[in-house]
Amino acid sequence: MRPYDYTRAASVRDTLAHAGPDTAYLAGGTTLVDLMKLEVMTPSHVVDINELPLRGIAQDKDGLRLGALETMSDVAAHPDVRRHHPMLAEALELSASAQLRTMATIGGNLLQRTRCGYFRDTSTPCNKREPGSGCSALAGINRTHAILGTSDSCVATHPSDLAVALVALEARVHLVGPRQSRVVPAEALHVLPGRTPHVENVLRPGELITAVSVPRLGAHARSTYLKIRDRQSYEFALCSAAVVLDVRRDTITRARVAVGGVGTRPWRLEPVERALTGRRMTTTTFEDAVRRAADGARTLEHNAFKPALLRRTLVRAFASLQRPGS
């Protein structure tokens, strides 16, 4: 690990005063510290934000508000989350080991870096780590890599389960920066790699996530988070699906579907949503709707199984929301 300056911030204003082009914010540290040890990330200044007043879990008539410094485990266990947004609790509990969930924060989880092995190996070329050096995964071991939203510069998947769930829930991310505060949809937080895969999100220099707000689900909403992985414990998704269906008299009146493990960012499937809307909750409906789920997919040598896996994962997630007798 390379030497760096350390500051413990006392307020949001203090934090922003220390913001610079080579500054990293430290919360739970479950990603940052790991990558600093590997010298994948080498900030010259680390600002500890754990003393900031960015906590709290509150449910009101408009929905749920989560402070960015709340831990994954506390959010998943909170009674309001489990009662009003069970899919959020499911996604968080499937995200990491219990030990990591007690440290990792909501804001940090959304900004975690990819788990691509080439990104974490400084002896191999990686455009995300060193722009212009090349993408080793294109011709390397790429079984876990993305099939949607890829480019010739990067095929790394986005690793966050929470981000996928928040996209399906149409959540909003609250940001504060040196010049202004703003709110962005969760769906717009992360960007495609294109020719600049080192740019992973829309945060401006020095900006900080302060909270996440999740709209209240309707009385007819059914939701689930399904994660498919190589092993049940502490593994990243080969494919995951976050699904919210509004169902009345066994007919889907509205659908929100997002997937992970297959895209370079959390991926919303609007064609699938449209194909579900107005249809009855039947296996035929589900199988018809997922036909276009992998439109535009670009497979590699080792991940050509993912389009089929994506379709099967979605059908299984939809079927889990059927009520007995449907």
* % pLDDT > 70, the chain: 99
* Distance separating alpha carbons of residues 231 and 237, to the nearest angstrom: 10
Mean pLDDT of 126-155: 98
pLDDT, residue 1, reads: 86
For 92-120, the DSSP string reads HHTTS-HHHHTT-BHHHHHTPPP--HHHH
Q: Is residue 288 part of a domain?
A: yes
Q: Which residues make Cβ contacts (< 8 Å) with residue 143, sequence separation at least 6?
A: 302, 303
Going by C-alpha positions, the residue among 296, 299, 249 that lies closest to residue 272 is: 296
Mean pLDDT of 17-27: 93
Side chain identity at residue 316, one-letter code: R
pLDDT in tens, 198-224: 999 999 999 999 999 999 999 999 999
More confident residue, 267 or 325: 267
pLDDT, residue 324, reads: 66
pLDDT in tens, 232-271: 877 899 999 999 999 999 999 999 999 999 999 999 999 9
Residues in the chain: 326
pLDDT, residue 323, reads: 80
CATH (domain of 287): 3.30.390.50
pLDDT, residue 235, reads: 86
pLDDT, residue 77, reads: 97
Q: Is residue 244 part of a domain?
A: yes
Structurally, the chain folds into a number of domains equal to: 1
Strands (E), 148-264: 172-176, 181-185, 208-215, 221-228, 239-248, 251-260
Q: Look over the chain and give the mean of its residue pLDDT values, rounded to a whole number.
A: 96
Mean pLDDT of 91-117: 95
Q: Is residue 56 part of a domain?
A: no
CB 126 within 8 A of CB 40: no
In the block, residue with structure tokens 């922003």: 16
* Distance separating alpha carbons of residues 70 and 57, to the nearest angstrom: 8
Q: Is residue 238 part of a domain?
A: yes
Q: Is residue 200 part of a domain?
A: no
Q: Is residue 231 part of a domain?
A: yes
Q: Which domain holds residue 287?
A: 221-319
SS3 62: coil
Q: Is residue 157 part of a domain?
A: no
Q: Is residue 91 part of a domain?
A: no
State the DSSP H helix or E strand holding residue 162, giving kind and residue range, or none if neither.
helix 161-168
Other Cβ atoms within 10 Å of 297 Cβ, number: 18
Other Cβ atoms within 10 Å of 86 Cβ, number: 15
- Threshold 0.75, pTM exceeds: yes
pLDDT in tens, 260-315: 999 999 999 999 999 999 999 999 999 999 999 999 999 999 999 999 999 999 99
Residue 326 has pLDDT above 90, yes or no: no
Q: Which residues make Cβ contacts (< 8 Å) with residue 79, sequence separation at least 6?
A: none
Our measurement of the distance from residue 243's CA atom to the centroid of its chain's CA atoms, rounded to an integer in Å, reads: 14
Residue 117 has pLDDT above 90, yes or no: yes
State the DSSP H helix or E strand holding residue 273, giving kind and residue range, or none if neither.
helix 270-276
SS3 123: coil
